[in-house]
Every structure is written in C-alpha cells, then in structure tokens.
Structure 1
C-alpha cells in the first residue's frame, strides 16, 4: 500500500514536471489514472527535413513537442490519443535510420530513434499500452481500415510540382495537398475540401484529389438515390459543395 502511494506521488510529480516544460500554452496532462510510461528524443520528419522532437508516452496518450531548451523548455505541444495510433515498421532510410511511421486521423508522420534497440522499445511500448487501452474501452482491436491522414512528402524530395511538373522557385512556392500529401504548386492546389478528421475548416487539396472527391461524392449520391428512391418523388435538391476554390493562403499553421 505504501509503495503504491509512493508511486502515485512520484507519477503525479513527473507528469506535472512534463506539463511545466510546455509553458503557458500547455494543456493539462495530469489526469486520474494516467501514468507517464517513458520519454525521450526522436527525430521527426518535417516538411523541411528531420528535426529532433521530445516525446512523452503515457498509458493513454502520446505527447510531443519542439525542443527549445533540452529538459527545461518545450514548445508546440501535440497530444495524440493512443487508440487513434497505428504504427508501421519501416526499413532504414538514408536520412532516417531506425525509422517507423506513426499514423493518426489528424496527422501521420515518420520518426526515427538513435538505435534499433530504442526503436523496438518505443514501438513495443506504444503497441502494448494502446492494446491495453483499447481492451479497457471495449474498442475494435483492428483499426487498419481507419481514416488516417496522408503522410506529407518532405519539401526536399521534389524540385518540381508533382502534378504539373513546374519547377519551384521564390515565386512558385511549395504546398502540400492534405488529402494525398503530394508537393504541389499554388496553381495546382487552389481548391479547399472539408476533411473533418484533419480540421473543422476546409483544407488545401490538389486538383487531382478534387476529381477523386467529385467521383466519391457522385457514387455516394447514386447509392443514396437507389436506397431511398420513391415513385413520383420530386427532383433531388442540389447538395452543398464539399469544397471551395480559393487562392488565399491556408489559415492552418504550417507543420513543423
């Protein structure tokens, strides 16, 4: 009993210490039943290349952020529920050895550890505590068909638009399609689509994905008409568009 009480006190103090590193913009992490499992520094592949990020694994969430002062000050706190996470083991890359993919509905990204052993520990613990959480909540154990966000292709991977092949320069900047993750120019990504798993506001998509959205919507409408069709029914009213065209910059913060 005394050992359990000591652990509870130590766990609370550790979680509060993690909270404090994120400063005034932090979200509260202390919660009844929440346990800090481990922490460490991993490389996260961002749009401009790999960057060191601090990661904290809890028994129900994964938290990460930008390192401002190691061990003392972090920024841009991100919180991911473990039940939303899907991991994919990957072969070593030239820029990212010991890497794996973290998929979530809102964001998917590559991370790498300093050694194969550390990679196995991270992946093993994430899978372990996700499995325990899913069982405790009575959720489906297989989320392979989940609606995960596309993984962004890094800026350095292409010098040309992956839709029209125009070369990027100061005037023709890189952008990312939120639906497929391709690097595209502004002209090829003027449309915006509502993707609720990513944002409550319409996000940038490329012209190729606009066609896919159209096709998916038309097929859905045909199925709905066939299911709910009634004799002598009036003509269906036009549905509101799921996307809009705009040349304005995204209001979303650029991924770091």
Structure 2
C-alpha cells in the first residue's frame, strides 16, 4: 500500500510537470487512472523537413509538441487517443532513419528515433498500451485513417496540373489524397467525416470522385475557395483538427534552419518509467530502455 501511494504521488508529479511544460495553452492531462509510461524526443516529418518533437506516452494517450526549451518549455500540444492509433514499421528513408508511420483518423505522419533500439521500444510500448486500452474499453480498433501528406520538397510542381510552384503560386495539400497541389487545383471544399465536421481543402479530382459517389451535399458541390488562397491557405485553414493542427508544422518551419539542424543531432533518449503500481526505481529516469 505504501509503495502504491508513493507511486501515485510520483506519477501525479510527473504528469503535472508535463502539463506545466506546455504553459497555459496546454490542456489538462491528469485524470484518475492515467499513468505516464515514457518520454523522449523523436523527429517528425513535417511539410518542409523533419522537426524535433517531444513525445509523452501515457497508458491511454500519446502527447507531443514542439520544443522551445528542452525539458522546460513546449508548445503546440497535440493529444491522440491510443485507441485511434495504428503503427506501421518502415525501412530507413533518405531523410530519416529508424522511422515508422503513426496513423490517426485526422492526421497521419512519419516519426524517427535516434536508434533502432529506441524505435522498437517506442513501438512496443505504444502497441502494448493500445492493446490494453482497447481491452479495457471493450471496443474494436479504428479502421479509418487520414492519408499521409506528401512533403513539400517532394515536388516542385502541382501534382494535378503540373504547373511550377512560385512565390505567387503556393503549395497546398489535399486532405483526402495528401497530394501537393496549387490553389487553382484545390479551390473546392468537402466534409471528410474522420478529419472534420466542417469542409476542408480537397483537390479537384478528389472533389469529382466524392461528387460521383454522392458523398457531397449540394452546398459542397458549389463550394469554392478564394481566388488567390489568402483566406483559405494551409496556415489559416478554417478547421484545425483537435490533435494535429496544420499551423503546427507551419510555425516550426519558421524556426531558424541552423537551430533545427543542431537539434537533429541532439537526441533526448527514450526514458521508460516502468510504471507497475509500485514505487519506481528513480534511476530509471536517467536510463533509457535497452
């Protein structure tokens, strides 16, 4: 009983520290039965390049955010229910090693760890917590996931009309297929239920496909974006999904490039807290799982 009470207090203090690191803009994370399982830094493939993010694994959710001051100050808190997650192991890529894909209904994205050992630890613990959460909730895993966005640098031309992107011809992403498209090719909006209850940007081919399948309302058939993209650009999209707002990637892309490069080689090892409802070994906070 004493060990359990000690663990409960330590776990509460850890969760409070995570809450405090996101400041007043972060959501409350504490709730009865929630346990912080592990934490560490991963590279997340954003629109323009990989960005370092801090990740926190709880027994029922995965939380991540942008790093302002390592260990003390984070922003853009994103919360994903483990019930909504699907993982896919991947081979090493050109820009990221030790990578895997995290799929969710509203946003899917690539992440990578500092080593193969840490990658396997992250994936193993996420899958273990997810399995237990599904069993506890008595529900089936989700089967509908968002398409992964193609990174900006993957194409210098619109993937629909093949016109070259320029200062006055910006890149956008279709929320249905993830293709990189120009504003002229993505003026339409459509409701994609697992992403948002409000219309989001789709390319003209996806719009036609949805129209052919009767998935659009009459209002959506006639829905159009603005002529130059200023009022419906990716930075100012009307709909910001709960745990993966587009502005998250955009804000980080404004950070100095040299700062980003320095962070890539400054990994924070995965700390596995081994929470088994007993007093944790405090040395475990400084030793990552092997």
Normalised by the length of structure 2, the TM-score is 0.78
Partner of 2:224: 245
- Residues of 1 paired with 2:42 and 2:213: CA distance? 38
Determine if contact 2:76/2:248 at 8 Å carries over to the other structure. Answer: no
Does 2:158 match 1:158? no
Partner of 1:148: 145
- Residues of 2 paired with 1:157 and 1:246: CA distance? 25
Partner of 1:97: 97
- Residues of 2 paired with 1:154 and 1:181: CA distance? 9
Normalised by the length of structure 1, the TM-score is 0.88
- Cα shift readout 1:219-255 (whole Å, capped 9, x = no counterpart): x9xxxxxxxxxxxxxxxxxx64445112242334434
1:209 corresponds to which of 195, 206, 210: 206
Per the TM alignment, residue 60 of structure 1 is displaced from its structure 2 partner at its CA by: 0.2
Does 2:186 match 1:189? yes
Partner of 1:29: 29
**Which protein shows a greater Rg?**
1
Greater fraction of residues in strand: 1
Does 2:87 match 1:64? no
Determine if contact 1:87/1:102 at 8 Å carries over to the other structure. Answer: yes
CA separation of 1:164/1:46 partners in 2, compared to 1, >3 Å: closer, same or farther?
same
Q: Secondary structure at the match of 1:19?
A: helix
Q: Secondary structure at the match of 2:68?
A: strand
- Residues of 1 paired with 2:144 and 2:185: CA distance? 24
- Residues of 2 paired with 1:185 and 1:78: CA distance? 28
Per the TM alignment, residue 199 of structure 1 is displaced from its structure 2 partner at its CA by: 2.2
- Residues of 1 paired with 2:213 and 2:57: CA distance? 37
Per the TM alignment, residue 82 of structure 1 is displaced from its structure 2 partner at its CA by: 0.2
Partner of 2:177: 180
Partner of 2:282: none
Determine if contact 2:175/2:201 at 8 Å carries over to the other structure. Answer: yes
Structure 1 gaps of 5+ residues are 221-238
Determine if contact 1:87/1:123 at 8 Å carries over to the other structure. Answer: yes
Per the TM alignment, residue 88 of structure 1 is displaced from its structure 2 partner at its CA by: 0.4
Determine if contact 1:47/1:255 at 8 Å carries over to the other structure. Answer: no
- Residues of 2 paired with 1:242 and 1:59: CA distance? 40
Q: Secondary structure at the match of 1:217?
A: coil
- Cα shift readout 1:99-143 (whole Å, capped 9, x = no counterpart): 0000000110000000000000000000000000000111125x4
Partner of 1:254: 247
Q: Secondary structure at the match of 1:254?
A: helix
Give aligned pairs, total. Answer: 234
Partner of 2:45: 45
Determine if contact 2:102/2:109 at 8 Å carries over to the other structure. Answer: yes
Structure 2 gaps of 5+ residues are 240-245, 250-290
Determine if contact 1:65/1:74 at 8 Å carries over to the other structure. Answer: yes
Cα root mean square deviation, aligned: 1.4
- Residues of 2 paired with 1:110 and 1:171: CA distance? 29
Partner of 1:169: 166
